[in-house]
Each structure stands twice: as C-alpha cells, then as structure tokens.
C-alpha cells in the first residue's frame, strides 16, 4: 500500500472520502502528513502509532479503556484500574452454570429476572447480551457465532409481567 497522494509507504492511514457520520464507507490510503493536510491539521508525529502505544501501555498496566460505563461486565474501574465486581462476577458464574446445564438464553433471562438480577442499567438482561457474554468467555456450546439468531426485544415491564404471570 502507498499513500494515494504522495506515494509514501510508511505511516499509512485510511481517510473516509465521505465522512462516516454521513454514511461514508469508502476510504483512501493516505500517509500521516497528507491525511493531516486533508483535515487542515499539522501532525509532526504519527498519531496512529501514539494511540496504539498508549492503548497497549494502559492494557499492560491493567487500566480500563474507554468510558467507565463501557467497561467489561464483571469489572469496575477503581483508581484507574479494573477490579472484579463481586455481584457481577456472581451473575457471570450463574450464567456459566446454567449454560453448562444447556439452559436456553431466554430461560436464563427469566431466571435472572425472577431473582431481581438486572444489568447495569437496571433492565433485564437480553438473551443476545448473554450470548455475547458466553461467547466472550467461551461458554457458548449451543451454536457457533455465525448461526446466532436475533432475539426479540422485551421491555423490563413485559419481562416482569412474564415472570410474575
């Protein structure tokens, strides 16, 4: 690959011809210097390398990446480090046990809801989220990720009515 504009083959980045925020999907390969010129920004250093190094350093230190609300379920950010959340770890352990017993995701959702175990937003878990959780931790034995089906969205009120009914 080479820079579309100047032909350099180092420090390449992908520039969206139409911004992603406006639905653009096509990209052009540009070097850091040319990409900066397109955006009217002068970058004396390779931004992508700095970001990659910074993220790797945070991972090595066990520090969270992204906003605190987006941390991996089962962990909390405390003083810039990820620590296990005991309540969420107990929920994960329960999901693992139920999946090992071949319980469906829909039934796991109902089981968790009956025990007033909800996600971080206070809503019932969605089967699709539990499926992702199972895939992340290597728990999904029912089907491969390519064959996952979409689950119907159910509100908290509907789920509680199902459980109580």
Per residue in 110-163, pLDDT (tens digit) is 999 999 999 888 889 999 888 877 776 554 444 444 444 444 555 666 666 666
pLDDT, one tens digit per residue, over 88-100 is 888 888 888 898 8
Dist CA 124 CA 126 (whole Å): 6
Q: What is the pTM of this model?
A: 0.45
- Residue 72: the pLDDT is 76
Entry field: residues in the chain: 165
Q: Which two tokens stand for residue 111?
A: 């089981």
Measured on CA atoms in the order 147, 105, 118, 58, is the torsion positive or negative? negative
């Amino acid at each position: 690959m080479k820079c579309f504009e100047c032909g350099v083959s180092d420090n390449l980045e992908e520039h969206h011809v139409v911004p992603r925020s406006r639905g653009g999907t096509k990209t052009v390969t540009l070097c850091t210097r040319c990409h900066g010129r397109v955006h009217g920004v002068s970058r004396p250093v390779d931004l992508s390398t700095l970001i990659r190094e910074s993220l790797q350093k945070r991972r090595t230190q066990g520090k969270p990446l992204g906003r605190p609300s987006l941390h991996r379920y089962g962990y909390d950010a405390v003083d810039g480090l990820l620590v296990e959340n005991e309540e969420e770890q107990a929920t994960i352990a329960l999901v693992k046990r139920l999946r090992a017993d071949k319980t469906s995701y829909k039934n796991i959702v109902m089981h968790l809801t009956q025990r007033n175990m909800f996600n971080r937003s206070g809503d019932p878990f969605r089967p699709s989220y539990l499926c992702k959780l199972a895939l992340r931790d290597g728990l999904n034995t029912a089907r491969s990720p390519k064959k996952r089906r979409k689950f119907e969205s159910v509100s908290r009120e509907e789920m509680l009515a199902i459980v109580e009914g």
